[in-house]
Chain A
Amino acid sequence: MKESEKRPVLPRLKAWQAGLIIGLFAALAQAVYNVLPKTVEGFPAYRIAPPAYGFCMFCHVRDLVNWFLNGAIPWMKVAPISVIVPTLTAVGILIGGSLTAVAVGEFHLKRTYNPGLGFIYGLLVALSAAVLGACSTRVLLRVAYFDAVAVFGLISLILGVFVATEFILKRGGG
């Protein structure tokens, strides 16, 4: 057992290697949407699952929440895909991340930053992503799909990151 702690079962990866594999499969997942019915409750295929929809933290979590609520909140019935099938991307990430962390001995409850503050950040990020219509992952997929509006959104996003970084520096770190 000591040996496996020294040498993890899975090697560390460079970010570009992970990005390459996730990006390729996120695009190829677009083919799987062909199994969906062509219309649901009068919505055309186009509205059931738009293009560049293979991997999105906001949209897929929204669809899953929608599927789970099953129309309990009337004005949330806007994603027809969630009527027919749950999108389990985020669940997969949580399970995959946990299993990997356990396997390499990096899983333990740790203090990172204030969870209450994290809750507020999560809420504000969800609100922004809803307005943009993509999370920071899907905005890249939309750019890769050659959506000019998404390019504009991505530039705005990068600007937001720079302003926030300056803000953190001015405030004096972390």
Chain B
Amino acid sequence: MQIYAFAITTFILGLLAGILGQRSGFCFIGGYRDFYLFRDTHLVKGVISFALAAIIGYTLLTLTGTIFVTGTFPWAFYKGLSAIPGTIVKATTLESSLLVAAVGGFGLGFFSALAGGCPFRQHVMASEGGKGSIGYVLGFWIGIPITYAIIYALGLLA
């Protein structure tokens, strides 16, 4: 089954990210925090190089015509000011998708900084045996069905 190539790819990508993350302490939230606190650029350089490398990657895929769903990159050029699908909240207009992005983004930054790392970093720390992060990962995984239940109960589910 060729779709299992997809499962294997995500697994290998995760494996690679786990190895590199363990060796580098790479964190998406820690970068902004350390820059704000100490003007330390070690982690934020990781964040910037991640974004730049992704732009290079998408450009390569577009140029070779192998990107999934052709005619979408660069998104703003083809689709204007709409959002890439992702949010589970009902957001059809530009105003509502901006509001959803603002609320979700702020909450994500706020709680991740309180927890001391982004979800990726917490998974790596849990894999090293950090007890706090193991609790976090359990909360994150179990929190997903709970999240859907909350959004559904509020009547906001897309």
Q: Which of B15, B125, B137, B144 has the most CB of A within 10 A?
A: B144
Known contacts A60-B10, A91-B14; is-contact A133 B120 (Cβ 8 Å): no
B61 to chain A, nearest CB (A): 5
22 A-B pairs with CB atoms under 8 Å apart are A11-B23, A19-B49, A23-B52, A50-B84, A55-B17, A75-B149, A86-B7, A89-B10, A92-B16, A93-B123, A94-B18, A97-B127, A113-B116, A118-B134, A123-B143, A125-B112, A126-B146, A127-B143, A136-B29, A145-B54, A158-B109, A165-B37
Cβ-defined contact, B118 with A136, below 8 A: yes
A85 to chain B, nearest CB (A): 5
A139 to B, closest residue via Cβ? B105
CB within 8 Å of A: which B85-138 residues: 85-89, 94, 97-98, 100-116, 118-120, 122-138
By a beta-carbon cutoff of 8 Å, the part of chain B in contact with chain A is 2-29, 31-33, 36-37, 42-43, 45-58, 60-61, 66-69, 72-77, 81-89, 94, 97-98, 100-116, 118-120, 122-152, 157-158
Cβ-defined contact, B107 with A15, below 8 A: no
Cβ-defined contact, A133 with B10, below 8 A: no
| Neighbouring A residues of B103 by C-beta, 8 Å | 131-132, 156
A58–B104 CA distance with the chains assembled, in angstroms: 13
Chain A contact residues: helix, strand, loop or mixed: helix
Chain A interface category by residue count? 35 or more
Known contacts A109-B131, A136-B119, A137-B118; is-contact A162 B36 (Cβ 8 Å): yes
A138–B101 CA distance with the chains assembled, in angstroms: 13
A11 to chain B, nearest CB (A): 7
A78–B126 CA distance with the chains assembled, in angstroms: 28
